[in-house]
Every structure is written in C-alpha cells, then in structure tokens.
C-alpha cells in the first residue's frame, strides 16, 4: 500500500495514529508532516489515496494545504480523514470546502472510532486503490458492505462511493453531491427507522429539543437487540451506470404512502425519501419496505480534472467526423482530452479509440519525432486543449509533478497493450489447437 501522509505536530495524536495503524501490520505506512510546502510536494508526486489532517493543529497550515488542493485539480486524487478538537460546523465547511472527504472525527471520538475506520478502509481497498487499472481491466465492479448502526459508518461508506465515482470520471461534482445526499438519507432511514425503530413522532420530539439525531441513534444502540442489527449495502458499477441496494433488518414501512404524501411546506424531517427519489433514478422498495434499490447514470467520456496549468491553453472543439490530425503531417504539439471519443487510424485501419481516461492525444509523435504516427478523427463532439511542445516543456519545468501525467499515461497504455496481447495469444493458441485437432482427424 502507498504511504499515507499525516499532517500534525501533535505528538500524542501522532503516536495514537501510529499505534492504531500498526495493528494492521504493513497495510498502512504513515509519513508525518508539519510543513505546508513539504506536504504539498508529497501530494504532488505520490498522489496518496488517503490523507490524514489534524484540522485543529495551529502549527500545521491545514487551511493553506486545502487551498493548494482546491487550486490544483491534480491534487484532488484520493480522500481526507479530518480530525479536529471541537471545531464548529461552519469552520469545518470553510476548511474542507470542495475536498474529497472520507470521514470527519472529533478528537474525543478517536478511541472508539479510528481503528474501525481503518478497518473499513482496509476492507474496501477496491474503492480507494488502483482505480485507473481497475477501470481498464474490469467491465463491472461489484461489492457489498455490512454496516453497523453507527453514524461513522454511514458517512464513511457514502464518501467512499461518491469519491470513487467522481475520481473515476463517472459522475461530475453536481451528481456527486446529489448522490451523497441520497445515500446519506437512505442509509440513515435504514438505521433510524428500520433497525432502531425510531418513529416519526419520536424523531420530531427529539429534533424540537435541538438535539442531534445521531445521538438518538447512539442511545438506541445501547440496547443489545438493536446494536446487533446490520444494514446491508451493495453496489454494481458498469461503464454506463451504477446500481445500489440498501437493506435493513427492520419491519419495513408503507413506502408507497410516504412517497404519495403531499406537504405544503417541509417540516423538521420527513423529506429524505422524496429528495432521494429526485436525485437518483429508478428508486423502488420491496413489498415489505425494508430494501430500496436505485440507480444513477454515468457521464459519457467527460473529464472532471483539467490540470490547472492548462487553464490558459487553447481549447479546440471538433465535431463528428472532423479530422484532428493526419498521419505523417509535421507537428510540435499535443492535446489534452477534455471530453469526447477519438478514433485512431494507422494506414487506413482503425487501431484504437481515445477518451478522457487516456488524458493525452499525440504524445508519441510529441516525444519521439515531429511527425504524426496516426490519423485521428472525432467520433461525435470532442473538446481538446492544444499544447505546444515548448509550452509543455516550460510547464513541466515550472510544475515538475505534471511530468507524472506522461508516465501515468504510458504505464496505462502498456498495461492495456499487454492485456490485448495476452488475449490475442490466448485466442491464437485456442485456434491453433482446434486446427491441430482437425488435421489429426483428417489424417
């Protein structure tokens, strides 16, 4: 596993985090930072999937680090575990605005929650790690979670799912926010109304006292028969859509009546199911009312991450059938793929198709010669950013971590080429065996 940066000068906290991570042997390797520039440099070059920030540490410029992440989309990779000592909600929102957050923990909650959080991360590596390779090699990604009746589990699993889909360019930021709201509402409903059997009136009375509903859930979980109940959350992700199933161990409810209810104005609660129904597609319950399924559609060939260094570069739009470049023509520039699909032809034969997952177009001639090695045609509308060789060299000189783009690109393409060659070799051996068997019969 890659190293996890811990940004904190609090030695007591650091010792606690290290002791907790050591329980998992070599699954978590920690690197401790206090300096902003050293932290940002590490994020640029290592692209860690998990980052641990002590938000209440005055010696570490956490807000400055988060500002750096906001200013450079490249650094949004992965997610943040945020720890604080009683910061207000407004303060948390200000620091973490626009970040990919895995979990937020108060300092006094660490003893009971931190090791469970690490366990969740370890058990769900497929959501956090090697997402690029995974997308290329697997058509479908499926998994399931067994969730305790605990607020931490709700937020962590919701964040893991939405961060993955966003980082994989399958949903944009607006859809990410809507999906996160829907997941939180439906998971909370499964726990509070399903497993904990909190009635509408009981919840209303609790909220009218300005109490946190999560505290009521914790109170209910003191009863062994409730604490033992689980929520079962499964997902299937294809290139086109994601499907989710949430099931609790409660008695169910009359969901048809709830969806049909018409309220003139919202109250303290009771709008969760309707909100979820608006934000996702094909939401439906089983007859009993203790299992809900729903889907979201993925965006097609769009990039969520346009590197900040390309902001001032020239954006070009190509329509369906329009040529981007011709085989053999001279060239001293490459393209960053923002959206669309591009067909690549060599000697008149279609050899591949490029999308935003491939990041660049024309990097081979850019690196190895000044002539195009293939003809590229836009399939549908495509948006590209044109970058000259001189500009790109200057940009990498000023922002060395962006050289990782080319290294990552070439590594992905080599992986796909090896996979393709392996499949061709397997097919060749199969056909050869059939021919040999046929010849043997003829003789």
Which domains, from first to last, does the chain contain? 1-110 (3.40.50.2300), 124-299 (3.30.565.10), 308-409 (2.60.120.10)
Give the pLDDT of residue 262. 59
Query: pTM of the prediction?
Result: 0.67
H runs (alpha helix) in 47-167: 62-71, 89-96, 110-123, 125-128, 131-137, 151-167
Give the pLDDT of residue 136. 44
Give the pLDDT of residue 247. 94
Residues 6+ apart with CB under 8 A from 314: 385, 386
Distance CA(34)–CA(220), nearest Å, equals 40
**Mean pLDDT by 10-residue block, N- to C-terminus, for the chain (443 residues)?**
87 95 87 94 85 93 91 77 92 89 91 89 67 48 81 86 83 90 90 87 84 84 89 88 93 71 52 78 90 91 63 79 90 82 90 80 70 89 84 75 66 67 79 83 75
The angle that helices 36-46 and 62-71 make with each other, rounded to 10 degrees, is 40
Give the residue carrying structure tokens 């199911």: 273
Give the pLDDT of residue 141. 73
| Beta strand ranges found along 172-257 (DSSP E) | 231-237, 241-247
Give the pLDDT of residue 214. 79
DSSP 89-100: HHHHHHHHTT--
Query: Buried b vs exposed e over 71-108: b needs ≥16 C-beta within 10 Å?
Result: ebbbbbbbbbbbbbeebeeeeeeebbeebbbbbbbebe
Please answer whether residues 30 and 21 qualify as being in contact, where contact means their C-beta atoms are separated by less than 8 angstroms.
Answer: yes
Write out the two tokens for 287: 């007859």
């Amino acid at each position: 596993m890659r190293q996890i940066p811990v940004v904190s000068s609090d030695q007591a906290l650091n010792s606690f985090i290290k002791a907790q991570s050591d329980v998992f042997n070599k699954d978590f390797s920690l690197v401790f930072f206090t300096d902003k520039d050293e932290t940002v440099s590490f994020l640029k070059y290592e692209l860690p999937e998990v980052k641990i920030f002590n938000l209440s540490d005055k010696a570490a410029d956490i807000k400055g680090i988060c500002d750096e992440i906001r200013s450079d989309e490249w650094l949004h990779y992965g997610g943040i575990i945020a720890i604080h000592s009683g910061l207000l909600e407004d303060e948390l929102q200000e620091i973490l605005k626009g970040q990919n957050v895995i979990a937020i923990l108060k300092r006094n909650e660490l003893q009971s929650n931190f090791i469970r959080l690490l366990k969740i991360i370890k058990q769900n590596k497929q959501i956090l790690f090697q997402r690029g390779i995974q997308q290329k090699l697997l058509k479908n990604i499926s998994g399931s979670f067994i969730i305790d009746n605990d607020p931490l589990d709700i937020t962590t699993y919701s964040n893991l799912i939405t961060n993955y889909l966003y980082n994989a360019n399958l949903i944009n930021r607006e859809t990410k926010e809507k999906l996160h709201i829907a997941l939180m509402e439906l998971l909370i409903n499964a726990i509070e109304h399903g497993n904990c059997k909190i009635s509408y009136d009981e919840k209303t009375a609790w909220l009218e006292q300005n109490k946190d509903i999560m505290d009521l859930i914790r109170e209910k979980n003191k009863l062994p028969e409730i604490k033992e109940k689980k929520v079962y959350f499964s997902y299937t992700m294809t290139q086109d859509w994601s499907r989710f199933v949430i099931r609790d161990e409660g008695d169910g409810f009359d969901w048809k009546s709830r969806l049909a209810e018409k309220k003139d104005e919202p109250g303290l609660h009771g709008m969760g199911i309707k909100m979820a129904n608006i934000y996702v597609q094909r939401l439906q319950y089983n007859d009993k009312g203790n299992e809900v399924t729903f889907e979201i559609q993925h965006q097609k060939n769009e990039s969520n991450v346009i590197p900040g260094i390309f902001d001032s570069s020239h954006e070009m739009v190509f329509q369906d059938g329009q040529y981007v470049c011709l085989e053999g023509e001279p060239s001293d520039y490459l393209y960053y793929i923002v959206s669309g699909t591009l067909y690549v032809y060599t000697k008149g034969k279609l050899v591949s198709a490029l999308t935003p997952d491939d990041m660049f177009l024309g990097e081979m001639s850019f690196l190895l010669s000044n002539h195009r090695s293939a003809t590229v045609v836009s399939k549908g509308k495509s948006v590209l950013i044109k970058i000259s060789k001189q500009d790109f060299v200057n940009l990498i000189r000023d922002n060395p971590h962006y050289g990782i783009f080319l290294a990552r690109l070439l590594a992905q393409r080599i992986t796909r080429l090896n996979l393709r060659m392996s499949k061709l070799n397997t097919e060749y051996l199969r056909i050869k065996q059939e021919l040999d068997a046929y010849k043997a019969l003829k003789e």
